[in-house]
Amino acid sequence: MTSHWSEYWKLGHVTSFGTDYKENYTGHLKDLWSNVFSQFSSGFKVLDIATGNGALPLLIQDYFSKLSVEGEVIGVDNADINMTPLAYSHSNRNVIIELLGNTPAEFLPFSDFEFDTVISQFGIEYSDLVISVPEVLRVLRGGGTFHAVIHHQKSVVIRYNSKLLSFLQCPEIERVVFLLKMMAHDMGEMIDRQDLIRIKSCVKCEKSRIEINTLLSKLAAYDEQSLSESGVLNYVNDFFRNGLFWSVEKKLEYLVFVSEQITVYRQRLTELVAASMSFERIDSLKEILSRNAVITFSVEEVVNNTGDILAWYVFFSKISH
């Protein structure tokens, strides 16, 4: 799982939603977390599970930017982490942030009872909850709390990404990339406008070009929004607008890159959709918690103003000893 998420975080995304959400979490989710943060007292120590590039630590830093409350947030993620979002964030010296990559939720490198609060947003559900939940309880102090926003199987986020995943599995996409590779070979080396004239009379090139346009039209008819969001159009446009005078070798290298990016995108969305929690999985989580040192537990649906489900909100507190 970690390699394609590592590549994703290297691109500098703050949230797991990619290009659709260029800013940090906002709206209902931000309000929910603001309510959680308001319960922190000065000197707090918080652990963020599956932090990505530090979306929640950045929200905590922002929340306390105008308050004289000091604290520390450690974010861990099973993938590599890009520190750029933190480097360019606003400065709040009262809240210290540390991010640790290559650190799975199932094996937390911390002492028992080390944290006042453990949080997670769209992250812990990717882990093996049978192992990660007891680990969370181990590092929580007695009376400490856990707060998580978890992917809901029927949320607008999962519905959108399921649709996009279905689009990325269309065989026409693989065919487009294959035809571009064929064109790269058939065009040969191109240097000037004479070569443009030459390829326009190339029967093989013209046949591939026509089929590519037909396939793109078919994909647009199937799901025009996903065609745009998937990046497939950008890849094709880049090949024809910027790559015509690349060497054959460079064209083929670019198309290998395109194939890899599409494959990684599918893998990431497959895991995102699979991680979403159904009512049955929530019941399994309750069963796990019933076997451990939990004094209170609650779960509720996060719903926006139009009645759309955004996520599950899960809370529990650890028995004090």
pTM: 0.84
Q: Report whether 305 contacts 147 (CB < 8 A).
A: no
Question: Cα dist. 13→52, 111, 212, 281 in Å?
Answer: 8, 30, 31, 28
Q: What does the alpha-carbon distance between residue 51 and residue 99 come to, in Å, rounded to a whole number?
A: 8
Q: Report whether 158 contacts 135 (CB < 8 A).
A: no
Q: Report whether 52 contacts 14 (CB < 8 A).
A: yes
Longest dimension (CA), the chain: 82
Q: Which two tokens stand for residue 293?
A: 């040192």
pLDDT of res. 20: 42
pLDDT of res. 24: 42
Residues of the chain above pLDDT 70, percent = 88
| Stronger pLDDT, 48 or 305, i.e. the higher one | 48
Supply the mean pLDDT for the chain.
88
pLDDT of res. 195: 86
Q: What does the alpha-carbon distance between residue 110 and residue 118 come to, in Å, rounded to a whole number?
A: 12
Mean pLDDT of 208-226: 96
| Stronger pLDDT, 53 or 277, i.e. the higher one | 277
Adjacent-strand bridge partners of 98: 74
Give the list of residues 6+ apart from residue 210 with CB closer than 8 angstroms, or none.
none
Sheet holding 115-121, edge to edge: 95-100, 71-76, 44-49, 115-121, 140-150, 309-318, 294-303
pLDDT of res. 175: 98
Cα torsion through 53, 59, 61, 66, rounded to 10 = 160
The torsion angles phi and psi of 197, rounded to 5 degrees, stand at -65, -40
pLDDT tens profile 148-188 = 999 999 999 999 999 999 999 999 999 999 999 999 999 99
- Say if residue 157 is exposed, middle or buried (CB neighbours under 10 Å; 0-12, 13-18, 19+): buried
Domains of the chain: 2-155+276-318 (3.40.50.150), 158-272 (no CATH)
pLDDT tens profile 2-32 = 554 445 434 444 454 444 433 446 688 889 9
Mean pLDDT of 191-195: 88
pLDDT of res. 91: 61
pLDDT of res. 83: 64
